[in-house]
Amino acid sequence: MKRLLVAIVIVIVSSVAATPALAVDVVFDHFDNGVLPANDGWSESFGGGATGFSGGEAGTNFTITNITGGSPFGGFGTYTLSQSFTPINDFAVDFDISWDSGPSDSSRAVQTLGVALLDAGGNQIALAEFRDPIGAGDFGFQFADIGGTTAQTGPDSLPPAGSAQIDIIRNGNQIDILWDGTNLLTGFDATPIAEVQIIFGSPRSFFTFFGTESVDLLRVQSINGVPEPGSLGMLGLIVLAGAISRRRRRTRSPAT
Ligand SMILES: [Ca+2]
Ligand SMILES: [Ca+2]
């Protein structure tokens, strides 16, 4: 009987430990249907005087080759795509991008491309961004921000043309931002997120031009309701202990 109980407990504990995290897609776009994001579930907006962009969706990428309108010689022009959703706690965000600072004078292309996560009030919780800015060197670098704490890899640390797989993951109150699988920044904020933004930026000046930036994938997954294996295993033990105790009382009662 004892052996059977031990076996039952082992089965319960091991099955709970093997339960996979339940990941549910909240936002998923592979930019592969030829329909511009603004007509495909995203809201678009412009900042810094910008009024338009050059580019489109082709193959499996949404690609921008310029941000237009406003003064071409100053101001930080932006083109932002956003989606709102029911607030989520634990999450995994995939953001796959590529860029090209050529071809005419690769030292002067200036462009940024980031993914931002916001709470229901529009406050930024986390940002991961490719930055090829004015005056910080010829080429780009990795940048991350969690609640005002930032990390970056420094000027020229990325190639003039390249790609990146960026991940932002939250488990409990810990947020990790990874660039090609390597941790760039860890921060702490448990505020539920309710919006994702893709932000194309153009730090315009007289001598600069915008290169090429592409988004291959944006995916936000909610990681839901995974009980602690330890606590559920303990729950199983408590239930079993109760069953054993009741069984002992029942087996004793006929004798009294
Ligand atoms: Ca599309
Ligand atoms: Ca794609």
Neighbours of 234 (CB within 10 A): 12
Residues 180 and 231 in one domain: no
Rounded distance from Cα 215 to ligand 2 centre (Å): 7
Q: Domain count for the chain, please give it.
A: 2
Q: Given pLDDT bands bounded at 50, 70 and 90, which one contains residue 208?
A: confident
How far is residue 188 from each of residues 51, 124, 144, 170, 226, measured CA to CA in Å?
36, 13, 13, 9, 20
pLDDT, tens digit, for every residue of 84-120? 999 999 999 999 999 998 765 656 788 999 999 999 9
CATH number of the domain where residue 98 is located = 2.60.120.560
Instruction: Considering only residues 207 and 37, tell me which one the structure prediction assigns the higher pLDDT.
Output: 37
pLDDT of residue 242: 53
Residues 65 and 86 in one domain: yes
Residues 162 and 243 in one domain: no
pLDDT, tens digit, for every residue of 38-83? 999 999 999 999 999 999 999 999 999 999 987 767 688 999 999 9
Rounded distance from Cα 148 to ligand 1 centre (Å): 32
Residue 82 lies in a domain: yes
Rounded distance from Cα 36 to ligand 2 centre (Å): 13
Rounded distance from Cα 214 to ligand 1 centre (Å): 13
Considering every ligand atom shown, identify the ligand nearest to the alpha carbon of residue 30 and give its number: 2
* 101 and 109 Cβ atoms separated by less than 8 Å: yes
Residues 150 and 183 in one domain: yes
Compute the mean pLDDT over every residue in the chain, rounded to the nearest whole number. Answer: 85
Residues 2 and 43 in one domain: no
Residues 3 and 129 in one domain: no
- pLDDT, average across residues 21-33: 95
Considering every ligand atom shown, identify the ligand nearest to the alpha carbon of residue 34 and give its number: 1
Residues 202 and 136 in one domain: yes
Q: Is the pLDDT of residue 17 over 60?
A: no
Query: Alpha-carbon distance 213 to 77, whole Å?
Result: 14
Contacts of 243 (CB under 8 A, 6+ apart): none
Residue 80 structural domain? 22-226
How far is residue 77 from each of residues 16, 21, 107, 248, measured CA to CA in Å?
50, 40, 20, 76
Q: Is the pLDDT of residue 16 over 90?
A: no
How far is residue 49 from each of residues 25, 71, 131, 158, 168, measured CA to CA in Å?
34, 7, 20, 28, 30
pLDDT of residue 139: 85
Residue 253 lies in a domain: no
- pLDDT, average across residues 145-172: 95
Give percent above pLDDT 70 in the chain: 76
